[in-house]
Amino acid sequence: MAKYFEKNFCIINFFLTAFFAAVMVVGASFMKLNSWEEVRRYPIFSLVSFFCYWAAYFIISLLLFKKILGLEKGRQETKSGTYAKFFILWAGLMLCWLPWLIGFYPGISNSDVSDQLAQAFNFENETYRLAEHPLSDEVLINGHHPVFNTWIQGLFLRIGILLGSQNVGIFLHALWIALLTTGVFAYSLWYMMRNSVPRWMCMTVFCIFAFVPCFPLYGINLVKNSTYSAWLYLWVILLVRLAVEGEGLLRKKSYLFLFSLSILLQMLNMKYGVHVVVLTAVFVLWLYRASLRRLLPVFLIPVLAVQIGFNGILMPFLQISPGSRREALGFFYQQTARYARDYPDEVTPEEKAGIDGVLDYDRLAGLYNPITSDPVKFEAYRKEQTRDDQTAYFKVWAKQFTKHPGVYLEAAINGCYGFFYPGLMEWYDYRGFDSAIREVGDGFFTAGHPQALSEFKDLLKAIEYNAKFLPVIGMFFRHGTYVWVMLWCAAALLAVKKYRYLAALMPFLLNILVCIVSPFNANTRYLLPVIYGAGFAVLMVISAVLQMKTGDREQQKDPQCRRKRVPKGLTARTAAGD
C-alpha cells in the first residue's frame, strides 16, 4: 500500500515543488524590484536556483510523506475523549493569551473597525462616501463591510456605554472573540486526540496556537477577519467529523444545527464567505451524494437566508446602502494602472477614453502602488460611471491584455506573491484605539489604551517584533510557511485518495485563492483562516492515514472484504472513493 501511495504522491509532488521553486526564484525578484526583472537579467542563475530548490524540496517533501505513512509503528490508541480535557485545553490557551489581553486592553483595532463603529452609531464615515447608489441620506451604515458584523461591533460598545465605560465594551468584544477562537482551537485538538492522533503532535500545534504572537494578536482583534476565521475553522472541524464518522452523523440534529450555524455566521461576518461556502458545497455534496436529502438543506437554508433574506430584503428595507463594486474589481484596475505606467505611449486615444469612463486615466500611473490596489480603486474610480462605461472598460482591458500579457501577470504577482513567498515576513495590521477610533465620530468615541499599561504593551510588541528574526521560530512569521503547509497537506490527502478529508480542507484552500485577488499584498488578515488552519491540516493528514491503516486491518480480518476485487495497494474503503 505504501508504495502505491508514494507513487501517487511523487506525481503530485513533482508539480507542487516545481511551483514552489518558481515562487522562490520569482518571489526574490519581486521583493527587491517589484517585478521579475532580476529573473530576466540573470537567467542562468535563476534557472540553476530553480532546479536546486525543486530537487531539494521534492526530496524533503517526499521524506515527510514517507514519515507520515510510517506513523503506525509504535502508535498507541489514546483515550483523550473526555470533555474535561477539552476544557483544560481551552483554559490553557486562554491562560497563554492572557498577557496579550491585558497588555492590549481594551482590544486591537484597525481602520475597518473604526469605520464600522462610526457606521454603527450613524456617524459620517469614509465608506458611505464610496457608495455609488446610496439609498438614504440619513442612514449612513452601508454594505462596504458586513452589516451584521458592524451591528455586533456597535452592540458591544453600547453594552460598554451602559456599564459606564467604552473600554469595557471593547474589552468584552475582544474577550468574546478570544473565547470563540481558543474554544475552536481546543475543540480541534481535542477531537484529533480522541481519534488517536499522537498526543505530542497535537500538543505541538497547541504550542503554536499559544505562543506564536500572530494567534493571540488576531484572537483579540475586533477586525471582521478574526471572527470569520473562527467560524470557518469550526465548519472545517465539522466537515472532518463527517469524514471520520460517516453519514450517520447527519442523523444528529445538534450536528446539523451547528453545521448550518457555522455556515451562516461565516457568511454574515465576511462578504466573500458565501463564495467559499458555495464552492465547498459543490465538492461536499458530490462526495456525500447518497445523503443529499439530509445535507443539501443545511447548505441551502443559510445561503438563502443571507443572500435573499438578509442582503435582498432586510438591507433594502432598512435603507442600508450596498457597498461599492470597486472592491471586487481592484484586481483588474491594478493591471490597467500598471499598463498605463509601463506603456503610456502605446495607449491609443480610444483606449484612453474607454478606461477614462471608469478610472481617471491621467492619475493612474501616479497612483499605482504595486502592493495594494487601494489608491487606484479609491482615488481614481469614477462613481458616476454607467454600465456602458464598464463594458467599454473591459473591452479595453481585454485588448491591452493581448498586447502585453506580461504586465498583467506582473501586476497580479506583485499583488499576492507575499502570501506564497517564505522570504517575506508577515505584515500585521493593527492599531491602537487611541489613534484609530478617534479619527471618526466627532469626539464621541473615547476608548483607548490606558497609559498604565503602555510599558507592558511595548514589551509585548518588542517580543513579537524580535521573535520574527529567530531561527526556526521566525518561519512562523512568514505567510509562505502556512500556505505551503496547507498545499502540501492537500497534496498528501489527494495522494492517499482521502477525498472526504480533502473536501474538509476546501474552505482553507479557497481562502488562498481569495488572497490572490486581495487588495493588499501580504496583509496577514486576508490569510488568517489558512494561518489558523495549517497546523490542524497536518493533523488531518495524520488522522486520514491512521484511518486508512485501520481500514486495512479491518479488511484483513473480514473474510468478505478479502474476497472483494480491490486494486493492488488500496483498501476497500479507499477504492470506494473515501
Q: What is the pLDDT of residues 187-214, one digit of tens each?
A: 999 999 998 899 999 999 999 999 999 9
Q: How far is CA 453 from CA 71, 325, 458, in A?
A: 47, 41, 9
What gap in Å lies between CA 350 and CA 371, rounded to an integer?
A: 29
Written as one letter, the residue type at 576 is A
Q: What is the pTM of this model?
A: 0.93
3-state secondary structure at position 478: strand
Q: How far is CA 208 from CA 204, 360, 457, 477, 545, in A?
A: 7, 46, 21, 11, 23
How many CB atoms are closer than 10 A to CB 103? 20
Confidence of residue 443 (pLDDT cuts 50, 70, 90): confident
Which of the residue ranges 2-11, 132-141, 287-296 would you say has the lowest mean pLDDT? 2-11
Cross-strand pairs, 425: 478
Handedness of CA 397, 399, 404, 405 (dihedral sign): positive
Per-residue model confidence (pLDDT) at position 140: 94
Written as one letter, the residue type at 269 is N
| Residue 115 CB burial class (10 angstroms; 0-12, 13-18, ≥19) | buried
Confidence of residue 412 (pLDDT cuts 50, 70, 90): very high
Cell readout for 475 is 518561519
What gap in Å lies between CA 268 and CA 306, rounded to an integer?
A: 7
Cell readout for 122 is 450613524
N-term to C-term CA, the chain:
16
3-state secondary structure at position 517: coil
Looking at the predicted structure, is the pLDDT value of residue 312 above 80?
Answer: yes
The string of DSSP codes covering 328-383 is HHHHHHHHHHHHHHH-GGG--HHHHHHHHTTB-HHHHHHH-BTTBSHHIIIIIB-T
* Helix, strand, coil percentages, rounded to 5, for the chain: 75, 5, 25
What gap in Å lies between CA 540 and CA 535, rounded to an integer?
A: 9
Which of the residue ranges 65-74, 280-289, 557-566 would you say has the lowest mean pLDDT? 557-566
3-state secondary structure at position 304: helix
- Residues 449-506: pLDDT tens digits? 999 999 999 999 999 989 888 888 889 999 999 999 999 999 999 999 999 999 999 9
Looking at the predicted structure, is the pLDDT value of residue 321 above 70?
Answer: yes
The string of DSSP codes covering 103-121 is HTTT-BB-HHHHHHHHHHT
Looking at the predicted structure, is the pLDDT value of residue 561 above 50?
Answer: no
Query: Rounded to the nearest 5°, which phi and psi values hold at 431?
Result: -140, 155
What gap in Å lies between CA 499 and CA 287, rounded to an integer?
A: 8
| 333 touches 359 (CB < 8 A) | yes
Looking at the predicted structure, is the pLDDT value of residue 74 above 80?
Answer: no
Percent of the chain, pLDDT > 90? 80
3-state secondary structure 30-94: HHHHCCCHHHHHCHHHHHHHHHHHHHHHHHHHHHHHHHHHCCCCCCCCCCCCCHHHHHHHHHHHH
Looking at the predicted structure, is the pLDDT value of residue 554 above 50?
Answer: no
Contacts of 150 (CB under 8 A, 6+ apart): 116, 119, 120, 141
| Residue 419 CB burial class (10 angstroms; 0-12, 13-18, ≥19) | buried
